[in-house]
Amino acid sequence: MNKKLLSSILLSGALLAACGDDSDVAKTDANNNADAEKVVIGTGSQFINICFYDEDGNLTGYDIELLKEIDQRLPQYEFDFEVMDFSNLLLSLETEKIDLIAHNMAKNPEREEKFLFNKQPYNAVPTHVVVNEKNTDIHSIDDLNGKTVGLAPTSNAALFVEDYVAKNNLDTELTYITSTPDMLNQLKTDRIQAIFQFPFSVEIFNRESDAQLKLVGEPLIFSEIFFMLNKQDEKLAADIDEILEELIEDGTVKELSEKWLGADFSVEL
């Protein structure tokens, strides 16, 4: 019996040793400059084609690939990606756990007061009301009276909808859902009647997962998308802006945009 106990202890030790300390931070090996300043990029994993893990477990998407391209052209920096829940990103930037947020972020006054946005937008997308394709009674945001809608907490669309509902005295129930698949599922099963999305995401959801979505009404907000940084990192923001302009000029952004977003959004920039 002693032997059995011993072997089970040894086994668990071996298991631990086998685990090693392979840090889960995805490193871009774009440049091996030893003096390069480390920049921690905070991003999420729930935004298909913007920042998500593909089926093989690689972090990718429009925001990720664009940043890797930028990293390659900025030898003085080395980008590391940290993935966390979307709702933790802003607090993590504030507490300087990360240096930059890449998560399809749009400007709003609250965010601008606290943080720095780079100057050159890298994406431009309209947010629409999105309903199930069988839905016939919702044609615009004003038809949401008496309905339940799903919002991603702390997202720009959520702030807009909260504000709109309050100003127009709509009797709309707001539910907060962090996982996109969950949100789509709730819409499909009519637990919620509307969500707020970009046309390119709707296209992807319909194609990839039979989400049965349709856009209704005019765009609610037309968002230019930026990276978010801390106020003191103006140098980094300026360096990124310079490369972004270069990438828009030489067609790299167009290429990435067509690949991940299904259309060239660089013309809007």
Partner 1 sequence: MSSFFDIGYVFDAIPKLLNYLHITIEILLLSIFFGLILGIIIAVPRLYKIPVLKEIATLYISFIRGTPILIQLFLVFYGLPLLVGMFGINITRMDAFIFVIITYTLSNAAAFAEIFRAAIQSIDYGQAEAAQSIGMTGWQTFSRIVFPQALRIAFPNIASTSISSLKDTSLAFSIGVMDMMGRGDTLITATMNALEVYVALAIIYYVIVLLLEYGYKFIERYLNRYLVKEAL
Q: What is the Cα Rg of the chain in Å?
A: 21
Q: Which two tokens stand for residue 235?
A: 């140098």
- Classify each residue of 103-119 as buried b or exposed e, where b means 16 or more C-beta atoms within 10 Å of its C-beta: bbbbbeeebeeebbbbe
What residues make contact with partner 1 under the rule CB under 8 A?
1, 4-5, 8, 12, 15-16, 18-19, 23-25, 40, 45-48, 52-55, 57, 82-85, 88, 91-92, 95-97, 179-182, 184-185, 205, 208-211
Nearer to partner 1, 16 or 169 (CB): 16
Shortest Cβ distance from residue 20 to partner 1 (Å)?
9
Shortest Cβ distance from residue 202 to partner 1 (Å)?
14
Q: Which amino acid is at 235?
A: K
DSSP, residue by residue, 21-34:
T---PEEP-S---T
H/E stretch holding 101: strand 100-106
Nearer to partner 1, 45 or 108 (CB): 45
CB 264 within 8 A of CB 257: yes
Q: What secondary structure letter does DSSP report for 196? A: E
Nearer to partner 1, 160 or 205 (CB): 205
Shortest Cβ distance from residue 17 to partner 1 (Å)?
11
Nearer to partner 1, 23 or 136 (CB): 23
Dihedral sign of CA atoms 198, 199, 200, 205 in order:
positive
Shortest Cβ distance from residue 92 to partner 1 (Å)?
8
Nearer to partner 1, 90 or 244 (CB): 90
Shortest Cβ distance from residue 89 to partner 1 (Å)?
10
